[in-house]
Amino acid sequence: MSATSTVVTAGTDHRPSAAPPPEGANAARRRRLGPVALYLPALVLVALVSVFPIAYALRLSVYRTRALRTVEFIGWDNFATVLGPAGWADIARTFVYVVASLLLAVPLGLALAVLLNKQVRFVRLFRVVILLPWVVSQTVAALLWKWLLNGQYGPLHGLFGGEGPLSSTWGSMASLIVVNVWLSYPLATILCLAALQTVPAEQIEASRVDGCTPRQSFFQVIVPTIRSTLLILVIMLTLLYFNMVTLVYTLTGGGPFSGTQVLSLNAFLQSFQFFKIGVGAAYSVVLFVLNIVFGVAYIRVLKGKNDG
């Protein structure tokens, strides 16, 4: 009995077990890793749909390609094509298209928002009619206006004579700008209307008491109050116009004589019509850089306005 007890006692491990980590350390670790675990799926999704395509386009832009296969590393040769005489002509046409559309869409949207903000009869019906173009797809709008502007059988052929505005370089660009404004002014109207409804009525009344005319109240009280919304609207429309392909491709196809061939359209044509994926990727990279430059510039202006 005594020997057995001795053996059992000798075989028993009396080393102290590892102490569990303090509860405070576990809680601190969970607080640090919890937000990361919540953000991780979103970060992975953003990387898959944004970062990876950009990196892939950058890689393709420095290669000569055959279909989707990289054949030969050629460095900056594709960018030399993009930034050659034809490429700079595309960039110039892109700026004409974007700037002219902005100069028409933003004031038109603001003017219509001012009208819709007034208490008049049938204002809801007017809102539906004015905002109706926003629900029309770019393809449908392009086909509709292509029919309207046709110089031979379109309903408006009597206004133009000959072959219509789509048969000339400047007529096609003007038509493209008009159709683009018709499609996008509802977005400007919605944002401006929402901003106008946040302007305190007391400020407008105070300006009237101080002797301001309605025009002076608008430009000295209302516009400064909604300038942040206007700048955000300009950013959104600029990015929309720079990247627009469907409308241009369906309405004019870049013609006549490349008169409406903008950067976004040429990136599409080089990639999916001429199957020059490397050149198309270079066009896309240049377009991406322009988007970044203008977006950062607008944000800096917006930040400066708010700080001021």
- Mean pLDDT, the chain, rounded, equals 84
Mean per-residue pLDDT for 97-120? 92
What proportion of the chain, given as a percentage, has pLDDT over 90? 35
Map out the domains of the chain with their CATH numbers. Answer: 85-256 (1.10.3720.10)
pLDDT above 60 for 16: no
| Phi, psi (rounded to 5 degrees) for 12 | -80, 130
**Cα(95)–Cα(91) distance, rounded to whole angstroms?**
6
Report the pLDDT value the prediction gives residue 87, as an integer from 0 to 100: 86
Mean per-residue pLDDT for 151-170? 78
Mean per-residue pLDDT for 231-237? 91
Name the token pair of 66: 């055959």
Residue count (the chain): 308
Name the token pair of 123: 């204002």
Q: Note the helical H segments in 70-198.
A: 77-82, 85-116, 123-131, 138-148, 157-160, 169-196
Beta-carbon-side half-sphere exposure of residue 56 (alpha carbons within 13 Å): 10
Per residue in 142-158, pLDDT tens? Answer: 999 999 888 777 787 66
Are the CB atoms for 211 and 281 separated by under 8 Å? Answer: no
| Phi, psi (rounded to 5 degrees) for 119 | -85, 95
**Lowest pLDDT segment from 13-27, 172-186, 234-248:** 13-27
Report the pLDDT value the prediction gives residue 53, as an integer from 0 to 100: 86
pLDDT above 90 for 95: yes
